[in-house]
Amino acid sequence: MLDRVQEARRQIEICNACRYCEGYCAVFPAITRDRAFAGGDITQLANLCHNCRGCYYACQYTEPHEFALNLPGALAEVRADSWERLVWPSGFARVFQRYGGAMVAVFLLATFFVVTWFRLDVETFYDLIPHEVLVAIFLPAFVAPLALIALALWRYWREVGGTRITWAQLRAALRDAARLKNLDGGQGQGCNFEREERYTKGRRAMHQAVLYGFLMCFASTCAGTVLHYAGWPAPYAIWSLPKLLGVPGGVLLTLGAVGLAVLKPKGDRKLGAPGVWGGEMGFVLLLGFTGASGLALYAARGTEALGYMMALHLGSVLTLFLLMPYSKMVHGFFRLAALVRDAQGKGL
């Protein structure tokens, strides 16, 4: 782990002298604000890097040059290490970040749990699981991982020397996260993920589909919960808020995840962290499956397949929630924190 930080520091110091890539992303302006880089600074720069790979393909010091620059790869290794180190218990994070198969095992267990404990010959959602039982299982499965993530972010904040957050800093970070600013190549031309020297907007577009699709699905679930307590239980009609958010959200999430899964093998693995490739792919597929099974559940209304589709969908949602601190899902939280810290560094 120390070796990885030292290797990233070596490369960052070369970049600080060179400064050719200044316009690509927020990492280079952040580098030029410092002369010496402590461990916390390297953790911050690693989480700020969006792995667009533009700097690698622009660099005159990559192998076979003796400097052997590969900044996206060096920062990706430190980034993955930081999530494993800061999330408790770190052994769990190591397993799920590295092995997509471990995720599948949890998914199968979660689905088996739903199949064994609940009736599957059902006509509506709540015949399978009464609303109170659903809340009793899913609320802790959601809140406990969030609490672990909050703890990890607090440790991150201390490590990177973060100070009190202002509204202006938070607004700037949310704006950059919402537009995925650091994947635009600096001038809006896109990143170099899958087409190497040539720019592409594919990965950013697919990510936005996943991000907004996921947020719409989440908002749909929240709307359903509010309506339930307001005395309007499921199932909901197509023009209701849960459906208006959930159906397009599910389509976006599924298509975006399929797009990312197709693009991922096209990128050069050594420009990321090769050791966590399997876990990352597992996460992309789990997201896609969650979206697709939600849509299939809607389509299966009134058929005998309903109970089985529910088991698969609830199993995938449960897996997604439980593994939030230990899967790639955690990147959204850490990256947002890094953007807030960067806004502080810029003096906002």
Length of the chain: 348
Picked from ligand HEM, ligand SF4, none, the partner binding residue 99 (CB below 5 to 8 A depending on kind) is none
Which does residue 173 bind out of ligand HEM, ligand SF4, none, counting CB within 5 to 8 angstroms by kind? none
- By a kind-dependent CB cut-off of 5 to 8 A, residue 69 interacts, out of ligand HEM, ligand SF4, none, with ligand SF4
Q: Which positions touch ligand HEM (CB under 6 A)?
A: 50-51, 177, 183, 207, 210-211, 214, 260, 264, 280, 284, 287, 328, 331-332, 335-336
The one among 5, 27, 153, 292 contacting ligand SF4 by CB under 6 A: 27
Report the alpha-carbon distance of residue 151 to residue 163 in Å, rounded. Answer: 16
The residue from 52, 297, 322, 338 that contacts ligand SF4 (CB under 6 A) is 52
- Is the CB of 207 or the CB of 306 nearer to ligand HEM? 207
Q: Judged by CB under 6 A, which of 43, 97, 111, 182 binds ligand SF4? A: 182
177 binds, among ligand HEM, ligand SF4, none (CB under 5 to 8 A by kind): ligand HEM
Region from 34-42, 46-54, 260-268, 310-318 binding ligand SF4, contact rule CB under 6 A: 46-54
> Residues in contact with ligand SF4, total (CB under 6 A)?
24
Give, as ranges, the residues between 5 and 24 that touch ligand SF4 (CB under 6 A). 14-15, 18-21, 24
Structure tokens given for 20: 């050719």
Q: Give the shortest CB-314-to-ligand SF4 separation in angstroms.
A: 37
- Which residues in this chain contact ligand SF4 in the complex, by CB under 6 A? 14-15, 18-21, 24-25, 27, 49-55, 58-61, 69, 71-72, 182
